[in-house]
Amino acid sequence: MEKFWFRTLLVVVVICTTGSVQKALGIEQGESSSETRSLAELLDRPKLSGNWGGLRDDLADNGITINIDALQSYQGVLHGGVEKNWKYGGSIDYEFRFDFQKMGLWPGAFIDVRVEHQFGEFINSDTGSILATNADGFFPLPDYRELTVSKLVFTQFLSESFGIILGKIDTLDGDNNHFAGGRGKENFMNQNFVLNPVPLRTVPYSSLGAGLVFVLPDVHAKNPAMLSMMALGSNGQPNTAGWDDDFEDGTTYTVEYGQPTNFFNLPGKQLFGATYSNKDYTALDQDRRLILRTLLGLDTLREDEGSWSFYYNFHQYLFTEENDETQGLGVFGRLGFADDETHPIEDFYSIGLGGKGILEGRDNDRFGVGYYHIGLSDELGTIISNRFGDSDGFEVFYNIEITKSLHITPDFQIINPSNESRDTAYIAGFRVKIDF
């Protein structure tokens, strides 16, 4: 099955790179047959499956929206790392939103659901990196092939500026960034550019919890500022759903403030966040989102109560098109610090350049280039410190819109592993995203 899908993707790439889709259809030569127009309409759909005979719009008008996307990638270690391998893997995500007001119930209430399904294999353990070279391989869980409900959240706004949330909360989108976010589907693939890794110790990806949201209108920015506070079960996992299990060992508290900006009349955003958990930790507790313990093959017996982290995230446009402020060029960055006695990552930063629609006639293509640095904790012990050190990496990608529902992204990464006995890893590959 995996070989079938990979061969299919290669055929799509070949067809789409031998010329434009319109040229392949003969549209430029003036052909106007009904078959040609039908195929052109198919390729122009924002969703491959279309409007379902009008049903999709009818559902949206009545408060039910459905989004399905499939992500597939093929990556290989060209040199260095742990092992030179090429692997194919991917995921399918199903997202549902129920708007109670449009459904004829009561205003200000929503239910959001995300169901995830991972398949294939990923090269994350072959690169020698502390974190995932391909973020898609770590969500909902690494090497987990079961259908998983990672998000089931009820939101009730009691006014235009205040709301409450309750349920199984997906925390990945909280650290989103216009140029370096998107769950690894549209921008960068490396986990270090998808999120800030310093909260990983204290904040589970998916957990039962509750929170408050404050919407703060800002006369100096087009979008409102937002303040959120949450309490989550520190043991939460995407494939569990019990209050006793999630909160058995402690509670994680988070606070996050996002401030849209308009420096030089150009859009941007500044985000600040902090986390604290009262759970007991050891510096190398198993967390499947951190590959470090697997690389080390060691553990520590020292245990500390509680752990904290602080993180900062920004993006700022340097140029935008007059008629579309989402098209342009900008910079992004992340910075983070964590409790070095309980987190193997003591500090982190990333910086880069991103953009959309910078080439004439390619309004929906995206690109990015970025660098990150991971500082390991000095509290891991002499034996570990002598073998492992700080890590950094580089990534460049270009997301090509083949049709509105099909995007192909060539990607290249250079990673300096923490393991000093491993050579610098060079990773190449591509990603395919289909919106159904």
Q: What is the CATH number of the domain that holds 104?
A: 2.40.160.180
In a domain, 39, yes or no: no
In a domain, 109, yes or no: yes
Confidence of residue 35 (pLDDT cuts 50, 70, 90): low
Residue 29, pLDDT score? 44
Pairing of strands 86-99, 64-79: antiparallel
**pLDDT tens digits along 76-127:** 999 999 999 999 999 999 999 999 999 999 999 999 999 999 999 999 999 9
In a domain, 330, yes or no: yes
User: Mean pLDDT, the chain, as a whole number?
Assistant: 86
Residue 220, pLDDT score? 58
In a domain, 25, yes or no: no
Residue 26, pLDDT score? 44
**pLDDT tens digits along 262-275:** 998 999 999 999 99
Residue 369 predicted with pLDDT over 90:
yes
Confidence of residue 386 (pLDDT cuts 50, 70, 90): low
**pLDDT tens digits along 158-169:** 999 999 999 999
Residues with Cβ within 8 Å of 407's Cβ and at least 6 positions away in sequence, in order, are 186, 399, 400, 401, 432, 433
Residue 31, pLDDT score? 47
What's the average model confidence in pLDDT over 181-203? 94
The domain total for the chain is 1
Q: Contacts from 262-268 at CB under 8 Å and sequence distance 24+?
A: 262/220, 262/221, 262/222, 263/316, 266/316, 266/317, 266/318, 266/319, 266/320, 266/328, 266/330, 267/222, 267/317, 267/320, 267/325, 268/314, 268/315, 268/316, 268/317, 268/330
CA angle 264, 224, 180 (to 5 degrees): 65
Residue 10 predicted with pLDDT over 60:
no
In a domain, 186, yes or no: yes
b/e code 54-80 from CB counts within 10 Å (16+ = b): eebeeeeeebeebebbbbbbbbebeeb
Residue 154 predicted with pLDDT over 60:
yes
Alpha-carbon gap, residue 66 to 188, rounded angstroms: 25
What's the average model confidence in pLDDT over 183-191? 95
Residue 377, pLDDT score? 86
Confidence of residue 342 (pLDDT cuts 50, 70, 90): confident
pTM of the model: 0.86
Q: Give the up-direction half-sphere exposure of residue 22: CA atoms within 13 A in the CB hemisphere.
A: 6
For residue 174, give its domain range.
Answer: 45-435
Residue 11 predicted with pLDDT over 50:
no
What's the average model confidence in pLDDT over 141-155? 94
Residue 194 predicted with pLDDT over 50:
yes
φ, ψ (nearest 5 deg) of residue 55: -65, -35
Q: Contacts from 91-94 at CB under 8 Å and sequence distance 24+?
A: 91/116, 91/117, 91/118, 91/119, 91/136, 91/139, 92/68, 92/116, 92/117, 92/119, 93/67, 93/68, 93/69, 93/117, 94/66, 94/67, 94/68
Confidence of residue 243 (pLDDT cuts 50, 70, 90): confident
